[in-house]
Structure 1
Amino acid sequence: MPASFKQWLKQCIEHVSLFWAGLLAWSAFSASLFYLFSPAFRREQRSVLAGRLAYQQQLHQLGQSSALLRRNIHRLEKGLIMQPRRASFASDYIMETVGTFQRAVQQKSICAAELKWAADVLNFYFDVVTDTAEIAKARSLFGQAWQQLCEDQAEQGCATVGAGSGSVPYPASALPDCPIEFADLHTLYQRRRSVRWFTQQQVDPALVRQAVNAASLAPSACNRQPYRFDLLTRPADAAKVADLAMGTTGFARQIPSLIAVIGDLSCYPAERDRHVIYIDASLATMQLMLALETLGLSTCPINWPDIESREKAIAQTLGLEPYQRVVMLLAIGYADPQGGIAFSQKKTDALLVREVTL
């Protein structure tokens, strides 16, 4: 088939699609008819449903982290710092929270830092809250779980989890002083450019992990942190995954290391939060790029297209569950001093800021 005919056919299909889009875009219901027979959103729909089911399963069989426990403990934190703080609060979810904490203690799978945070905040909460019938019931249940946790620690000869009060809300005055001036930060932003040409010096995974620990301080809705970083340190593996994306032609095969940023929809019980994986993962990834830059490593974020054949290929390559979505890829390495950097003129505040008065 001649290329000119293919182009003509493609344009015809696009014109027909735009015609129907113009007819059906006037309401949410009619727009849904437009996509009724389209595969464009089918993977997302399946991922959301699979995430909801996985979320329900994780309520009973906890893994190394519990999205529900993290969310509810963070809700307690927000209640504890409320001004003025109510004498009684969280009655509607405190039993759910303590029940999840008790399962975490019993199943012994959740990481120690998360369990300590939950224990410290719950101890703080019950120290200051005034009992209602529901809170009193939760207090009793927490006492049992706390006693079991202390006994487990005694048997293990450690007192790390739940010890002290370092994992509870604190005043803004306790934040460390900021040693960075705006000019220094702006220089870091200027330094952090999308680098596509790297030397073949190996990337030390320890440096990436150091940067990830810093990036994890990024804000996250209800502190769920619904993402992970799949790190590929072999150039052949990095090239294989980078080739699956679009826009990597010509430079994918000399990337020394690569991260696939994976969003986890099993952190949510409802469709309304399906976009949070992209928000939270992007916030953390931006901090990760800046952290890597300070360690001498350059990066290039690689857009991930929502194309079924590519989604299927990367899911098989990385062994992803149906509820796990690729947010983006991130090339990592040491910049080739002679490699070119795109100027990429940026929009200014004149275009980016709209002052609004209500």
Structure 2
Amino acid sequence: MKTIARKLLPTNLKNTIRSILESFDAFLLNLLSMPFFLAHPRISNSLYRIFSTKFDREQQAVLAGRLAYRANVGIGYRSSALLRRNTHRLEKGLSMQPRRAVFAEDFIIETVRCYAQCVSAEKVCNQELKWAGDVLNCYFSVVSHTTNIADAYQIFSQASGYCKSSDINKAALSIPYQYQQINQAQINTDSFTDLCLQRRAVRWFTQQLVQDSDINRAIEIASLAPSACNRQPFEFFVANDKTLAPSIAKYAGGTAGFADNIPCVIVVVGDLSAYPEERDRHVIYIDGSLAAMQLMLALETMGLSSCPINWPDLDVPEQKMAKRLGLKSYERPIMLIAVGYAKPDGMIPFSQKKPANVLRKDIKL
């Protein structure tokens, strides 16, 4: 309806309607900022919802994610958010200095039951099962076996046969290790700064084919980015086709004028079914963005340029993207990333960045 109205209504009428809506929005904001409403947030929230439905999609997505988590007991297709979270919690306990003789009693039964389910279902990827199995095996080898931990060990022992027979378990153990064992990268601050300066938002690309192998390698590097409890609640939907990519890119309003020359586009999608509680609803954006930044830097090292494309929470584009990608109600687009080989004579914005003395705020004693 909005799209039709934009095309049919004259410009002066559209400007008048926009002015009226902006005036009402300002009135509502001023009203809700009054002391009475600030002191009674439930009343202000209820009043706000009468005039705005802009948070409805997020609320429905969060609810759908919580329901999916409970229905699947935290076990999704190829990965288990519950197993990943609890395995990481065990890793932190194993890394503690000094390490306690007994820890994780409150969630170890839940963890081994989830592990057993994953082994039985044979749908979680082998690398994830190996990591969980290695950490659990390490955990049981160092903690004191209280009654609760001994019961958990029995469940683990009965379930771990499938993983032990897997070829992937011939690899090195996936357990905590000392910092001094890290392979130090041959890169210094100046060269890393150069890479960051090299990475610009490029909007003009040649039509040279982007190799799928390069995209896969960049995704692997992006997966090394940190995420809350190592749940990695995101996926990368790739349209690596010069006809398909522009059609996907056009769902984002910020691609007008350059979408048709994009040879490859990646949609970063967050998965709210990784969380049983509302409090974690924003983690998909944090973790997805950390991975996306690492992805773009990785692309630069391959000679590929990129452009992160903003994805505001707008109902119509969300519906179109969800339908086109086949997203579930708890899966939400975080951003789009255009990828390709930059045109040598293509223009890029200067984009002055804020200096450190503007961005830094010291916390006082």
- Do both share a fold (TM > 0.5)? yes
Selected match of 1:69 from 77, 83, 88: 83
What is the identity, as a one-letter code, of the residue corresponding to 1:24? L
What is the identity, as a one-letter code, of the residue corresponding to 2:277? A
User: What CA deviation, in whole Å up to 9, does each residue of 1:256-303 have, x standing for no partner?
Assistant: 000000000010001000000000000000000000000010000000
Instruction: Sort the Cα spacing of 1:356 and 1:61 in 2 relative to 1 into closer, same or farther, 3 A.
Output: closer
TM-score normalised to structure 1 length: 0.95
> In the alignment, what sits opposite 1:133?
147
Selected match of 2:229 from 203, 218, 222: 222
Displacement after TM superposition at 1:57 (Å) = 2.1
Q: Say if 1:215 and 1:285, in contact at 8 Å, map to a contact too.
A: yes
Q: Say if 1:20 and 1:34, in contact at 8 Å, map to a contact too.
A: no
Selected match of 2:60 from 46, 50, 56: 46
> In the alignment, what sits opposite 1:33?
46
Matches within 5 A, 1:246-265: 246-265=253-272
> In the alignment, what sits opposite 1:144?
158
Instruction: Sort the Cα spacing of 1:80 and 1:241 in 2 relative to 1 into closer, same or farther, 3 A.
Output: same
For residues 5 and 256 of structure 1, what CA distance do their matches in structure 2 show? Answer: 38
TM-score normalised to structure 2 length: 0.93
Q: Secondary structure at the match of 1:262?
A: strand
For residues 124 and 39 of structure 1, what CA distance do their matches in structure 2 show? Answer: 50
> In the alignment, what sits opposite 2:4?
none
Displacement after TM superposition at 1:5 (Å) = 3.1
> In the alignment, what sits opposite 1:160?
168
Selected match of 2:184 from 177, 183, 188: 177
Selected match of 1:335 from 337, 342, 345: 342
For residues 290 and 2 of structure 1, what CA distance do their matches in structure 2 show? Answer: 45
- Unaligned 5+ runs, structure 2: 1-8
Q: Secondary structure at the match of 1:35?
A: helix
Q: CA RMSD in A?
A: 1.4
Q: Secondary structure at the match of 2:82?
A: helix
Structure 1 stretches of at least 4 aligned residues deviating more than 4 Å after TM superposition? none
> In the alignment, what sits opposite 1:23?
31
For residues 253 and 77 of structure 2, what CA distance do their matches in structure 1 show? Answer: 34
> In the alignment, what sits opposite 1:3?
11
For residues 134 and 340 of structure 1, what CA distance do their matches in structure 2 show? Answer: 64
Q: Secondary structure at the match of 1:290?
A: helix
Q: Secondary structure at the match of 2:77?
A: coil
For residues 140 and 75 of structure 2, what CA distance do their matches in structure 1 show? Answer: 26
Aligned residues: 351
For residues 171 and 265 of structure 2, what CA distance do their matches in structure 1 show? Answer: 39
> In the alignment, what sits opposite 1:115?
129
What is the identity, as a one-letter code, of the residue corresponding to 1:343? F
Q: Secondary structure at the match of 1:194?
A: coil
Instruction: Sort the Cα spacing of 1:173 and 1:271 in 2 relative to 1 into closer, same or farther, 3 A.
Output: same
Q: Say if 2:272 and 2:284, in contact at 8 Å, map to a contact too.
A: yes
- Unaligned 5+ runs, structure 1: none
Q: Secondary structure at the match of 2:269?
A: strand
Selected match of 1:56 from 70, 78, 88: 70
User: What CA deviation, in whole Å up to 9, does each residue of 1:219-254 have, x standing for no partner?
Assistant: 000000000000001122111111111121110011
For residues 67 and 4 of structure 1, what CA distance do their matches in structure 2 show? Answer: 52
For residues 332 and 195 of structure 1, what CA distance do their matches in structure 2 show? Answer: 9
What is the identity, as a one-letter code, of the residue corresponding to 1:17? D
For residues 202 and 17 of structure 1, what CA distance do their matches in structure 2 show? Answer: 47
> In the alignment, what sits opposite 1:315?
322
For residues 171 and 238 of structure 2, what CA distance do their matches in structure 1 show? Answer: 34
User: What CA deviation, in whole Å up to 9, does each residue of 1:1-31 have, x standing for no partner?
Assistant: 5422321232122112211211213253244
Instruction: Sort the Cα spacing of 1:255 and 1:159 in 2 relative to 1 into closer, same or farther, 3 A.
Output: closer
Is 1:297 aligned with 2:310?
no
